[in-house]
């Protein structure tokens, strides 16, 4: 008997992808195919590059995973996985099981026990949980209130004007297992509950149906214990407690004073918040701003009315001492184009970072999801591109230790009230440590910004950020995701390929700009941005500019020749010219090209060092 664990969406033969697997769309490593007819149905893939070793597996959790072998590190690297999160696997914890994304484990809800302890011990919890006490039906049962980060699936919505009416609707049906009421909508669940994700918050608007005895049991046991206490025993216990309190109070006060003094600041810049403080500031993490592989972000307000953004980290691997050390290092990195880290929280397994709040949100929200009358104009877009480049240049070249961001994309570029760009999440790749490769694959859309060296397993350098920046710059220019295909004469084109081809053919670049701007863009700036973007996504990282050079080009200080079309974007291009920069004062031949080109990494460095700035 087959069991659903995940839905890939329908196969698109023209794009050769499953609709719900975005990683396939921007892929130039694997060649996917799907065969389906009345006789057979199967999925296959092959490698464009025979030197890459790959394996495709489905593990016990139901996740489909693709790995590539890193010969240098002698280990398998996770290329992509679906579903991206452990708890997204359909029915992973079975009926009445709660999935904990932090621990990657399942547990039974209150009032239930493991259906098959043997299977659970073997980490197979799909059999779910069973009730401790059967329901009596009607108003003889009770309801347990709980908070959930994800409600179960397959609910029905009867007419109900209040929470009480919703409760009565559930009580009147013996098969009803739970109800929820919110936003003037009543939801009922019948039979087994699947895909529950319970949160740690107190209270909630999800009500699980239990036998009345299951809800009253704790109180009844407490009353029995009270009645069974012997008066003499109680007196003895009270005496012992009183003695311990008198002896320990001075010690606890002393420790408390010392710990309070240490918990306020770290190196005079960062504030060490308590979890309770941040829980209060965010109203129990109720206003979610966004989320990704590193964790979710919530809006909060401190007691002094300062608005903050709190990120709850997931997937970290460090102990507290190392965590504080890494956070302290991140806190010293400050630049006008980097999001400022205000503080952190480290209590047990809880790891949170506190940042300045950016009122205009992320670049992707302003670029892809705005109404036509709120679209970013070209001048603002260009300043965002330039400011982001300056922030990355600071991370790569001007910090005491080079910081490689590893995840540049519009979601990680935030805008303040004046639309000044701020690079967010820098330094988190090192914080997460060994788990970063797993975290990276869980972030929606990230695959479209990854440099080829991520897949081949070679060492990652700042040029990986340059590649991601180039992909993002194309999106700033077009106002659309690169993965959104452009159709003309029934031909489907990937935007960076289209843009690179137009540059290669010497066509007007303004036609590439977001059509919502109606051509209102500076021609020279558009040409610079397009050239920079295409140079940034060259296959060979030695051919990509540094972020310092990107800044100079966008500022108009340095000019750059038309780039070749990257082989990964267009396999029809057989020959690639070598990359070289030139300034206004460079010697040129009669055809307008510089007499000096660079064909190797060392030559590129030599050419770069000899570049002169334009006045």
What are the catalytic residues? 407
Strand (E) or helix (H) holding 288: strand 288-292
CA dihedral 134, 135, 140, 143 (to 10 degrees): 110
Q: Please state at what angle helix 523-536 crosses helix 378-393, rounded to 10 degrees.
A: 40
CA distances from 490 to 472, 478, 485, 487, 498 (A): 26, 20, 11, 6, 14
Q: Is 90 helix (H, G, I), strand (E, B) or coil?
A: coil
Find residue 203's DSSP bridge partners: none
Q: What would the 3-class secondary structure string for 428-496 be? A: HHHHHHHHHHHHHHHCCCHHHHCCHHHHHCCCCCCHHHHHHHHHHHHHHHHCCCCCCCEEECCEEECHH
Q: How many degrees, rounded to 5, is the angle at CA 146 between CA 200 and CA 192?
A: 115
Q: What residue has token string 């999106």?
A: 475
Give the distance from CA 526 to its chain's centroid. Answer: 30
**d(C-alpha 11, C-alpha 16), whole Å:** 7
Whole-angstrom distance, CA of residue 521 vs CA of residue 524: 9
Cα–Cα distance for residue pair 405/424, rounded to 1 Å: 9
Q: Counting beta carbons within 10 angstroms of the beta carbon of residue 243, is it exposed (0 to 12), middle (13 to 18) or buried (19 or more)?
A: exposed
- Hey, which bits of 48-146 come out as E strands? 54-58, 64-70, 75-82, 97-100, 105-108, 112-114, 129-131, 141-146
> Which residue carries 């030139």 as its tokens?
582
Cβ density class 440-471: b for 16+ within 10 Å, e for less: bbbbebbbbbbbbbbbbbbeebbbbbbbbbbb
398 is in an annotated binding site: no
309: buried, middle or exposed (CB in 10 Å: 19+, 13-18, 0-12)?
buried
Annotated binding residues for ATP, written as ranges, equal 312
Annotated binding residues, written as ranges, equal 312
């Amino acid at each position: 008997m087959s069991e659903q664990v995940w839905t890939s969406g329908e196969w698109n033969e023209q794009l050769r992808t499953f609709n719900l697997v975005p990683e396939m769309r921007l892929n130039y490593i694997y060649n996917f195919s799907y065969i389906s007819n009345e006789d057979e149905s199967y999925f296959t893939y092959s490698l464009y590059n025979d030197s890459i070793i790959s394996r495709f597996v489905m593990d016990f959790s139901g996740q489909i995973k693709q790995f590539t072998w890193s010969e240098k590190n002698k280990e398998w690297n996770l290329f992509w996985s679906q579903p991206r999160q452990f708890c997204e696997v359909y029915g992973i914890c079975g009926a009445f099981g709660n999935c904990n994304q932090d621990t990657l484990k399942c547990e039974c809800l209150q009032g239930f026990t493991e259906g098959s302890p043997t299977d659970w011990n073997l980490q197979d919890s799909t059999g779910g949980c069973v009730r401790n006490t059967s329901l009596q039906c009607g108003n003889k049962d009770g309801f347990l209130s709980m908070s959930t980060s994800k409600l179960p699936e397959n609910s029905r919505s009867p007419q109900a004007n209040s929470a009480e009416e919703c409760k009565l609707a559930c009580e009147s049906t013996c098969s009803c297992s739970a109800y929820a009421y919110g936003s003037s909508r009543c939801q009922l669940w019948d039979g087994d509950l699947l895909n529950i994700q319970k949160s740690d918050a107190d209270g909630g608007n999800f009500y699980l149906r239990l036998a009345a005895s299951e809800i009253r049991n704790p109180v009844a046991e407490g009353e029995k214990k009270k009645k069974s206490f012997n008066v003499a025993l109680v007196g003895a216990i009270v005496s012992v407690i009183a003695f311990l309190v008198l002896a320990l109070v001075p010690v606890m006060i002393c420790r408390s004073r010392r710990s309070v003094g240490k918990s306020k600041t770290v190196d005079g810049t960062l504030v060490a918040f308590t979890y309770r403080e941040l829980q209060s500031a965010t109203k129990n993490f109720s206003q979610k701003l966004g989320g990704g592989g590193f964790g979710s972000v919530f809006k909060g307000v401190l007691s002094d009315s300062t608005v903050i953004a709190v990120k709850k980290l997931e997937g970290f691997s460090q102990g507290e001492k190392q965590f504080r050390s890494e956070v302290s290092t991140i806190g010293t990195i400050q630049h006008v184009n980097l999001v400022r880290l205000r503080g952190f929280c480290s209590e047990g397994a809880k790891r949170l970072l506190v940042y300045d709040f950016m009122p205009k949100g992320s670049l992707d929200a302003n670029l892809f999801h705005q109404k036509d009358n709120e679209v970013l104009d070209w001048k603002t877009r260009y300043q965002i591109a330039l400011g982001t480049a300056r922030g990355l240049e600071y991370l790569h070249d001007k910090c005491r230790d080079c910081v490689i961001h590893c995840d540049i994309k519009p979601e990680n570029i935030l805008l303040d009230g004046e639309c000044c760009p701020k690079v967010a999440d820098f330094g988190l790749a090192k914080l997460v440590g060994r788990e970063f490769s797993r975290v990276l694959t869980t972030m929606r859309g990230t695959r479209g910004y990854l440099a080829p060296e991520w897949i081949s397993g070679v060492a990652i350098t700042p040029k990986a950020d340059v590649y991601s920046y180039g992909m993002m710059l194309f999106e700033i220019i077009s106002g659309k995701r690169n993965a959104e295909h452009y159709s003309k004469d029934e031909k489907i084109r990937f935007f960076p390929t289209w843009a690179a081809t137009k540059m290669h053919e010497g066509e007007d670049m303004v036609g590439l700009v977001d059509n919502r701007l109606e051509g209102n863009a500076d021609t020279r700036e558009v040409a610079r941005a397009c050239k920079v973007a295409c140079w940034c996504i060259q296959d060979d990282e030695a051919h990509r500019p540094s972020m310092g050079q990107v800044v100079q080009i966008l500022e108009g200080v340095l000019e750059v020749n038309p780039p070749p079309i990257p082989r990964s974007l267009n396999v029809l291009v057989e020959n690639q010219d070598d990359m070289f920069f030139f300034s206004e004062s460079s010697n040129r031949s009669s055809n307008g090209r510089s007499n000096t080109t660079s064909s190797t990494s060392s030559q590129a460095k030599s050419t770069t060092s000899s570049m002169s700035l334009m006045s």
